[in-house]
Amino acid sequence: MALETTIQNKVNLWLAGNYDAATKQEITNLLNINATTQLTDAFYKDLEFGTGGLRGIMGAGSNRINKYTIGTATQGLCNFLKAKYANQKIKVAIAHDSRNQSDFIARTTAEVFSANDIYVYFFKALRPTPLLSFAVRHLACQSGVVITASHNPKEYNGYKAYAEDGGQYVAPDDKAVMHEVGKITNINEVNFNFKEENIELIGEEIDKLYLQKIASLSVSPEAIQHQHDLKIVFSPIHGTGITLVPKALEIFGFTNVILVDEQITPDGNFPTVVYPNPEEKEALTFALKKAHETNADLVLATDPDADRVGIAVKNLEGNFELLNGNQTGSLLVNYMLSAWQQQAKFTGNEYIVKTIVTSYLIDKIAEASKVTCYNTLTGFKYIGQIITELADKKTFIVGGEESYGYLVGDFVRDKDAVVSCAFIAEMTAFYKNQGSSLYEALIDMYLKYGFYKEKLVSITKTGKTGAEEIVAMMERFRNNPPTSLGGAQVISLKDYTLQQETNLLTGKITAIDLPKSDVLQFITHDGSIISARPSGTEPKIKFYCSVNTVLKSKDDFAATELLLEQKITAIMQDLNP
């Protein structure tokens, strides 16, 4: 089977261009075995900035993560920065995670910046993503980059680019950067001739400042004093969390942190897990085993770049149960707002932020506390954007998204598992000090505000064909929306591409005041919300199902949860993706 002409032309450009011998050999080997599908996937497009920057499989090709796609992206970013900050001394910060080649890719990024006379603060060893965001702000940089593919499988790597506010690029600058990248048509336009004098190593001094900031946010230090020996099992899942999470717990006052020995060594092969994703129970196997052995109170596990955290707590039967991102986020918001209210810290000018696919239980909690809750598009960069826009006007308390990413305080502008671990441990200590538990606090929250149950269903569609199938699926839902889901009438369709909400009963159309995004939301008459969204970082289409009902008593918890689970199953059957 022959390659398409456009793809063959790209392959020829790489074989004839100024690429190293190893890269050309990798391409030649694929040609020799007629690996048409692999070559097509590697060259059919150029990597683009999505909700999380660049992310892809490592290897040769324009649609792969390698020295040249990273170099091209960095050169484009350099060109953007030089145009935006003309006649200024431009500074950037760079960090990387534990993935294979992350250190090499980070060094390549630093070299291209330095070659373009941009000063680089370069973390001399692996560090969490939130620390990079902090460093950009603290060091007054105009930009920053962290090399990571977050929780993706080991074959992946990525490139997150940050603006001067410490948040990932948003419109119009994200498109402007990619425009500059797109203007580079020849690898010879990328300047790899680094200048060592433009690279400064940083490390522990930034760690210390960051940890001090985290410590200053604590709202229940007395509870920690009483429960300082709370048994906390922590796993970094072979990632960067090991560098700062234990230190953050220690500086908060916790003295009994139990590390998962099998997973504390940074390793890009992630040898003990299938996916280094704390959303997956399998990734917490060793941590849960350790928790059972030690009779722990709390399990914490972070992804490779330590911006997401998964947790497990004891349920009413004393068995460890994983909480999902919506549950943890709702607990965190409820805890923080309750603490601020009890300590009379509210001035009427506070707010929280979440995404449109994150539990609307959080909106109810905020409403009860008379705190504004902003909803943004999916992607933490939009949460960071709101924090920046309101920096001198209102006080940010806490925010988060269903994909296990949360933030307390505003000195970082991205999701932060380090500060989240500290606060999850703190609220566990707070409830234990009251003779309760985090799981009981979850049920109490449902009793007060309603039982909200969410589930994420992801369908993987790889390669060029898969991408086309996802586009077709979204068009089907957009043009022929379901009339009922799970036995409930669909009364509203929110189309974030068209930026409009259509009342399906009256036909009335109202504007949605958010940027365009390929997201559809179906809202039923009983309050269920089902969101369909192609992933910006993975070859998947995601369905976010949210259902809710009244929880009459604690004794009804299990039965009510089962009913909600059955409702979600019925909804997905009706959608038939």
Query: What CA–CA distance (Å, rounded) separates 540 from 355?
Result: 19
Alpha helices (H) along 90-144: 102-115, 129-138
Instruction: Specify the long-range contacts of residues 106-110, CB closer than 8 Å, at least 24 apart.
Output: 106/145, 106/147, 108/67, 108/70, 108/71, 108/74, 108/192, 109/70, 109/71, 109/74, 109/145, 109/147, 109/159, 110/194, 110/199
β pairing state of 350-355 and 257-259: unpaired
Query: What CA–CA distance (Å, rounded) separates 152 from 273?
Result: 12
Most distant pair of Cα atoms in the chain: their distance: 71
Query: What CA–CA distance (Å, rounded) separates 534 from 221?
Result: 42
Cβ neighbours of 357 (radius 10 Å):
26
Q: Which of 384, 376, 370 is nearest to 337 (CA)?
A: 370
Q: Which of 470, 464, 448 is nearest to 550 (CA)?
A: 448
Cis before 534 (ω within 30): no
What token pair was written down for 231?
A: 């048994």
Query: What CA–CA distance (Å, rounded) separates 575 from 556?
Result: 29
Residues 51 and 381: beta-carbon distance below 8 Å: yes
Residue 214's alpha-carbon distances to 258, 260, 417, 419, in angstroms, are 21, 24, 11, 6
Helix (H, G, I), strand (E, B) or coil at 409: coil
Give me the catalytic one of 102, 133, 143, 150. Answer: 150
359 catalytic per annotation: no
Active site residues: 150
